[in-house]
Amino acid sequence: MTTAFVLGGGGVLGAVEVGMLRALLERDITPDLVLGTSVGALNGALVARQPDLGVVERLTELWRGANEAGREVYGDRPLRTMRRAVSTGTHIYSSKPLKQRLTEELGDTTFEQLPVRLQVCAASIERAAEHWFSTGPVVDAVVASAAVPGLLPPAKVGDEHFLDGGIVNSVPLGRAVALGATRVFVLQVGRFDRPLTVPRRPWEVARVSFEIARRHRFVRELEELPPEVEAHVLPARGTSARDDSLFGSKDFSTVQVRIDATYDACATYLDELG
């Protein structure tokens, strides 16, 4: 049996994946393969480096400190943010704080050095294609995977530029199957459970359009699973429609509540599997 952890994107909602990891690792369910997109790439990189319960404590510390990190990444002064938006025409925040924190955590670790196989998804601009990082520095790949359009600048790796992997494959279930996984645990952030409504504001149009695309692909891949593949979509808790608002991506104040509530739900789910 080849077990894969598939960690989807979702910004601040990525905290729920920590609760899922705790429930899995406490039951000695460990991955042979980790696939991550956007914030799922960040969580996934840490669990691929340390596939035991110790990583849960480290991730919890990082997410508890996310208020400070969020201010650093998304908390520029309004005037500075406005100037950057005008001068670049493409983004309003700098990616330097994010890369610095990742470097402090992962250093110059490469994919080849990880004890568990890891792949990270990003969207190639030049090739207009899904790209999977599986070699080289992990930090560069995670920054590329998390380059949210309009918020952070495109990330340059080698001669190519990348945007957030969620554009092309937000929850890469099919990729896990293609790489030989026979048991897949899907760590998703809970948006699939919320019905979409007709957008009424300009920023809602982009969000709803993106949600349709990501949900359509995931549902299709779930329905097309080969009969020999066992897939479990873990339950997320502590999220709401407020998280989808314009400023929801900046609210890190309830990460511990999300982690704990999701852990409880996943522990129950996994125990019922037997």
Give φ, ψ of 136 to 5 degrees. 85, -170
Helix/strand/coil (H, E, C) string of 59-121? HHHHHHCHHHHHHHHHCCCHHHHHHHHHHHCCECCCCHHHHHHHHHHHCCCEHHHCCCEEEEE
253: annotated active-site residue: no
In the set 164, 170, 243, 244, the catalytic residue is 164
Q: Decide if 77 contacts 61 (C-beta within 8 A).
A: no
CA distance 138 to 2: 23
Tokens, residue 243: 């998280």
164: annotated active-site residue: yes
* Other Cβ atoms closer than 10 A to 274: 4
CA distance 95 to 51: 27
Torsion on CA atoms 22, 8, 221, 268, rounded to nearest 10: 20
Helix/strand/coil (H, E, C) string of 24-50? HHHCCCCCCEEEEECHHHHHHHHHHHC
* Other Cβ atoms closer than 10 A to 178: 9
Among all residues, which ones are annotated catalytic?
A: 38, 164
